Structures are given as structure tokens and as C-alpha cells.
Amino acid sequence: MSYQVIARKWRPQKFDDVVGQQAVTRTLRNALASGRLAQAFVFAGPRGVGKTTTARILARALNCDKGPTADPCGECDACIEIAQGRDMDVMEIDAATHTQVDNIREVIISGLSIAPVRNRYKVFIIDEVHQLSSHSFNALLKSVEEPPAHVVFMMATTELEKIPETILSRSQVYEFRNISTKAIAAQLRRIMDAEGITVGEDSLQLIARDADGSMRDAQSKLDQVIAFTGKTIGAEDVSTVLGLVGRDLLMDTLQAVADEDAPASFALAARAVEMGYDLRAVCRELSRMVRDVLVLAVDPSRIDDPEIAGEGERDRLKALAGRFSREDLLRAFDLLTRAEQEIKSAAQPRYHLEMALLRWIHLRKLVSIEDLIAANDAPRTSHPAPRTSAPTPPVPRTIAPRTIAPGATAPAAVAPRTIAPGATAPGAVAPRTADVSMPSLAAAAARAAANVAAVAEPEQATPPASGTFKDTLLAEIKKAKAVFYNMVVAQAQTIEVAGDRVTFSFTPGQRALKDQFEQQKAWLESIALAIAGRRITLASAQADPSAARPPAGEAADAKAADKQSAEKKSALREQALADAGVQTMLEVFPAEIRDVEEM
């Protein structure tokens, strides 16, 4: 007798032998036991999961000498002939061959009224029924709805949506599912033990995983591996024969990303190309391993699951799981799935794989906003800032007394006072100490503090004279951008300097010039900062030519009040900028403080 492949030799002969379809087989067994049988069945599902096999078993159960029974004997003539595909009363029809309506009429409809030659039922098994034409379905419709009592239709398809609703509504539809990797590996183990072939669990897991839920595919691949290796099968043999991506390469890639080793990522991409792997398959297997690592990060107890890792991979995979956060793994999964799609149409797939690995390394450096906020807020209550503990003697800082204009309200404190670094002045905003565990955030806070210290003007320094500062500012603007100076700045009606604020006034007809000034405001303030040594606010205003000038005394009082208000806001601004939390947030977020109010 000629050699019979494993997929045919180990084809299930009874309902109990069908793997992974308990819902379907149990329903059919109960229907046979109770006699509640439909006249038409539709078996739908992916390839190689047991649709046609189940139809044959049901045909045997209906025509067995001991039946109808849920457990056909397998010994009577009907059982043997149906299993071998040569029973006259059980007709298997390939819908791809008999697509036209004339074939359906000749093969099926014309023989419906003829009684079975020997069996109890005449069974029509139509494989890949979705390939029938619309006219063939219409011709078959009445026969499926009201067939003779001795006729049963069984239709198998991999594309249920292509079958007309009129056919589905007249049939019982059973949907078959993909078989789990664990169930496929267990069935392959039983076959190998019966065949006397030595194979490890890792090898069976590789075959089962590559079968992608299809038992027939798994058995065909196993047959191919046996032809290559003989009586002993190793994991490397399976990878070589089936062209699978080696698990060592995948784990080395995860290790390189965890170590942020960019040169190693280029070397691993070159290694994948040299070994002849499909780079789409490399991305697909990497995403699958990322998923496995994420499962371990969520539930470490699944380390013993053979679907997650083989026996020799568990320690290394567990160590890798501890080096990635869940956010890292989620971002990596999205990155790899996109890379797989990009490689499909890429002229240079290797470049896309290399760039994907480099982006993966870069994404690991990102810190979530929740961690930043938690790290900045937590030390405020648990680690108060020490008041007088400095390694070097403090350098006193004297606040100059302020002049109060007649009629103005005196500020809370006008006496000069000396404040040592680390001490908190009464009424001032208490600086917070950010005890940040993340190096990136601590470095950001240190840089922010250094920048603020370098920019802040000592309070004992006297502000520059208005005329001198204004002339210098205009000269620098003209030197840097002569066109902008002539077209916009020089057209301003008035330029007023009040404390830390310079106001350029434009008439209502110069609205376009005012808008251009606002667009260059950040650049102008940077020039003012370089000249004054502290932050100067430049603003634009609309001049009112019809407004009457106030009396000289009132104008002087108003000017003094504005000056006092500007000085107070300047002091509040310096206190806010000295706060460690504000410094950190300004460093992390692209923002600026435009105004400060006392609460």
C-alpha cells in the first residue's frame, strides 16, 4: 500500500476525535440521540479545522447499521465505505467544479427523488459551497427547504458571508473555530508517540504556532519536518524546514532594545537578512514575543504556559519582562505592526526594520505625564525643604526699600531684610523641593534652576534709566532687523518704559503694524532680556488720539501708582519663578508665565 500522509491517516473517525470543536460535536451528538435532525447543515470556519471531516462523521452516524447513532461502529460496510469516500449514497461535490446551474440540476436535483441504494439516507456533501453561482443557489433553494425525507444536505464553506441568506435561513449553521496552539501541540504529541518519533515540546510548539489554528496545516508541516529529519526532530530542524524566525534572534533583539544598544540592532537586522528570513515575518514574530512579554508583565504566573515560552526560554524571557514597562510594550507592539505593513510595499525592507528598531529604542526614553506629575508632587509633603542647611556659608541678599507715592497704600513690608538661601520670607511663596527619582526630571529641574538663577536680576540692582534702556533697545532692534524697525517699530506713536514693561502704542489705522509687532514679541523680549539682564515685558497698545490729557498732578499720581503696581508684580513674578515646582514645569512643558496675581 502506498504511503498515506499524516493528515489523512489520522483523520478523525468519530465525534470524540475532533479536536477543539466541542460545541459543534456536542450539539450534533445530542441531536442524533434525540432524533432532532435538520434537513440541511452549513459548516463554516477557517481551513483545516474539521468541517468536511465532521460532515463525513455525521453521514456515518446517520447510515451506520447501529444508527442513527452518535457513535458509529466504524466496522459496517456503510461506515467503511463512507470513510473511504466510495459510498454510492453519500456524494461529495466540489462546488468549484460544479459551479454552473446545469451541473447542480444534473448531479443533485435530478436524483433527489431516487431512494438510497443501501443506506438509510442519501447525503450530499457540498464542499466550498460559497463558490456556487447565484443561479445555482436559486436552483438549489427549494430542494434545501423541502427535500425528500431520505435526503440530507451538508455544506462546508470558509466564507460564510458569501452564502445567500435564503440558504442560511433554511439550514442549521455551525461555526467552527480556530484550534488553540495547546490543543494542536497535544494532538501532535499523540501522533508522534504512536509513530515512534522522538520530538521535543519546543519543536511541537513551533509547529503548532506556525499552523495558526489549523490542525490540517500542523499535520502537513509535521509530515514535512519528518521527511527532513527522520526519527528525531529538533527545534532547529523545524525552524530550518519551515523557514521560521529563530527564537534566539528574537530574544537577542529584545535584549538589544532593553540595553539601548543601537549598533547591536543594526547587526541583528543584518543577521536576519543573511539567514534569508522574510522581514515581515521577523516583525510579526517580534510583535508576538512583545505580546508574550506583556502577558508576563500583567500575569507573571503564566511563565509556565508553553504557549508563552518553551522550557529553555523561561528564565531569559522572565528577565526581559522585568526590563520593560507596560507602556513600552504597548508602544512597541504598535510600532512593529506598522513596520510589518510598511515592509510589505518597501523597496528596501531592511532599512525599515532597522529604523523600526531604532525608534523602539528611542520610545523607551519617554516618560508618561502621570509619572512626571507623581514625581513632582510626592516630595512636597514627605520631604520638606530644609531651612538652614547649606554646605557653604550663605550669601545674604538685601531687598532695597521701596518708595511709596503720596496717597498709595503701603506694601506689607518695606523694611530691608536679609534672606539666606533656603529660608522662606514671610508672605512669600515657599519653594518646594522636588525629590525626583527619574534622572531626566532631576536634570531638567537642575537646568531650570540654573537658567532662572542666571537670568534673575539681584533685587539690589537698580533698573536702567528709561532713556538709556529705550535707546539701546531701539538700536539693537534696528541693528538686527532694519526693515522691521523702519516698517513697524519706528511707526509707533509712543514708546513708554515703566519698570519692567515697555509699551508700543499704535493708532487704530495701524492695526496691521500692531499684529506684526505681536508676531515678533518673543524675539523682542529676548533682546530686552539680553540688554537689561532680566525679563522685560514688551506690549503693544492702541493709542486713542481723541483722549484728553489729564492734569499734570493727576498724571504724576497715576504714573507713580502704575510704577508701584509694576514693582509689586515684578516681585511676585520673581517669587513664583524661584519656586522649584514652577521651574520644573517650565522645563518640561513649552509654556511661559505671562502674569502673576497675589491670592
- Per-residue pLDDT of 232-273, as tens digits, reads 898 888 888 888 888 888 899 999 999 989 999 999 999 999
Shared-domain flag, residues 311 and 226:
no
Shared-domain flag, residues 203 and 298:
no
* Confidence class for position 163, pLDDT limits 50, 70, 90: very high
* Residue 595 maps to a domain: no
Shared-domain flag, residues 477 and 576:
yes
pLDDT at 455: 40
Number of Cβ within 10 Å of residue 288's Cβ equals 15
| Residue at a domain's end among 342, 363, 384 | 363
User: Is 160's pLDDT higher than 50?
Assistant: yes
Mean pLDDT of 33-61: 93
pLDDT at 561: 64
* Average pLDDT in the chain: 79
* Residue 369 maps to a domain: no
User: Is 583's pLDDT higher than 70?
Assistant: yes
Shared-domain flag, residues 59 and 160:
yes
Shared-domain flag, residues 162 and 50:
yes
User: Is 458's pLDDT higher than 50?
Assistant: no
Name residue 551's amino acid. P
Shared-domain flag, residues 580 and 472:
yes
Shared-domain flag, residues 299 and 318:
yes
Shared-domain flag, residues 26 and 171:
yes
CA angle centred on 528, ends 526 and 530, rounded to 5°: 70
Supply the range of the domain harboring residue 213.
181-242
Asked if 530 and 556 touch (Cβ cutoff 8 Å), the reply is no
DSSP 125-152: EEETGGGS-HHHHHHHHHHHHS--TTEE
> What's 125's domain CATH number?
3.40.50.300
Rounded distance, CA 297 to CA 333, Å? 14
Mean pLDDT of 340-365: 90
| Of 296-310, 323-337, 438-452, minimum mean pLDDT range | 438-452
Shared-domain flag, residues 161 and 252:
no
| Residue at a domain's end among 363, 390, 411 | 363
Confirm whether pTM is higher than 0.85: no
* Residue 383 maps to a domain: no
Find residue 43's DSSP bridge partners. 156, 174
Cα 160 from chain centroid?
31
Shared-domain flag, residues 78 and 158:
yes
pLDDT at 533: 83
Asked if 221 and 208 touch (Cβ cutoff 8 Å), the reply is no
> What's 498's domain CATH number?
3.30.300.180
Name residue 370's amino acid. E
544-553 burial, b at 16+ Cβ within 10 Å, e below that, comes to: eeeeeeeeee
| Of 178-182, 532-536, 550-554, minimum mean pLDDT range | 550-554
Can you tell me whether residue 218 is helix, strand or coil?
helix
Mean pLDDT of 453-482: 65
Can you tell me whether residue 92 is helix, strand or coil?
strand
* Confidence class for position 559, pLDDT limits 50, 70, 90: low
Domain count, the chain: 4
Shared-domain flag, residues 23 and 127:
yes
Rounded distance, CA 516 to CA 523, Å? 12
Shared-domain flag, residues 217 and 301:
no
Inter-helix orientation angle 314-321/279-298, to 10° = 80
| Of 371-385, 426-440, 536-550, minimum mean pLDDT range | 426-440
Encode 241-292 in three state secondary structure: HHCCCCHHHHHHHHHHHHCCCHHHHHHHHHHHHHCCCCHHHHHHHHHHHHHH
* Distances in whole angstroms, Cα of residue 10 to Cα of each of 3, 195, 383, 518: 13, 11, 70, 81
Rounded distance, CA 275 to CA 418, Å? 73
Q: What DSSP designation does 547 have?
A: P
Rounded distance, CA 350 to CA 193, Å? 42
* Residue 456 maps to a domain: no
Rounded distance, CA 318 to CA 309, Å? 9
Burial tier of 478 (Cβ tally within 10 Å: 0-12, 13-18, 19+): middle
Query: What is the per-residue pLDDT across 269-309, written as a single tens digit (0 to 9) for each?
Result: 999 998 888 899 899 999 999 998 999 888 888 888 877 87
